[in-house]
Amino acid sequence: MEAMIPRTSIIMPVYNTADTVIEAIRSVQAQTDPDFELLIIIDASPDNSQQVIEEYLHANPDPRVKVYAETINRGSSEVRNYAMDLIRGRWFAFLDSDDFYRSDYLEKMHAAVERYPQVQVVAAGHSMLYPDGSERDRSPQNEKYYGDNEQILVDYLNDQITPFTWDKIYRTDVCRGYHYPQNVQRGDDGVGSLSLLTNVSQMAIIRESLYVYRVNASGLTWGSLPPVTNTEDHIGHLERILGDRLHNPRIASAFNVARAMVILLNAQQALLIGGTQAQAIVRRCRQMLEWKQIIGALQSNRMVGAAAALLKMSPAAYKAFYSAYARKQYGL
């Protein structure tokens, strides 16, 4: 007898998260909407994540949970692409193994699908969980519905739609063919999100905070210093994904914002970490921020454009500004 097709397939890569992965799994099993499959892809993790997962599932068997253990580390982008070829659900979602879902993540997402029957992607709010146990809600102020692809791309590039995949559910028949680009060393979620939204014409954003993102200053996202070549590659991937759409003046203007944000991210991490290598990275980032593109960014997003202009003119002033922002926003 053929297995029932689940409503939602959830993809969870695992790498070096033995301390948090069980909480992530339990958050899926605790969903008030039980119609899912969870695909756990262990990406040749050097810690004992695989043992921890196997022991937990042996004690708590669940046919909805499937584990795939890789012997060679592929990286998060390739692992997600591999998993997308395995999914059976009518919808799919992502979960990082150091984060977790609220118990009504799937229920609230699919309630939005019922309100907007033609929708192809639903996005929700999320919360930041800090090391001291405190949380900060980061949810949109209002529910919003998009009915055309151009506006989705403009708002995405203009930082009005989050650059994450884990706060969204995607309709499989529309989004499955748009994978994460390979060899993205930094910002793979942002590049992957754009790829998945390439041909989406119907999207809803709901207000509820349904995902909990764990802030860890020593983790992959916050604790390392990426070379500028990663930033150049990131921008190149965005350009290739957009292709001829960059001839559209609105998308081209919004792209100036996205480009500036990628460069700012690299520069601000270098400024916070410091050192000789960091100084060279900041110099190169300032060179990449051309005044023509800064002016273009100002026209679409004044805050991002102003931040780019500040870094261009005074790295010391930008460091002071961003240090205060990071302390307030992320507890770093």
One pLDDT digit (tens) per residue for the chain, 332 residues: 346 899 999 999 999 999 999 999 999 999 999 999 999 999 999 999 999 999 999 999 999 999 999 999 988 888 998 999 999 999 999 999 999 999 999 999 999 999 999 999 999 999 999 988 999 999 998 999 999 999 999 999 999 999 999 999 999 999 987 777 766 656 678 888 999 999 999 999 999 999 999 987 555 444 567 788 889 999 999 999 999 999 999 999 999 999 999 999 899 888 888 888 889 999 999 999 999 999 999 999 999 999 999 999 999 999 887 777 666 665 55
pLDDT of residue 220: 43
Gap between the Cα atoms of 207 and 94, Å rounded: 19
Q: How far apart are alpha carbons 271 and 30 in whole angstroms?
A: 41
How many Å is the Cα radius of gyration of the chain? 20
Q: Is 146 strand, coil or helix?
A: strand
Instruction: Provide the pLDDT for residue 223.
Output: 53
Report the alpha-carbon angle 281-218-47, nearest 5.
120
Place of tokens 């999100």: 193
DSSP summary character for residue 263? H
Single-letter code of the amino acid located at 298: L
Burial of 116 (0-12, 13-18, 19+ CB in 10 A): middle
What is the spatial distance between Cα 37 and Cα 15, in angstroms, rounded to a whole number?
20
Sign of the dihedral defined by the CA atoms of residues 133, 163, 201, 302, in that order: positive
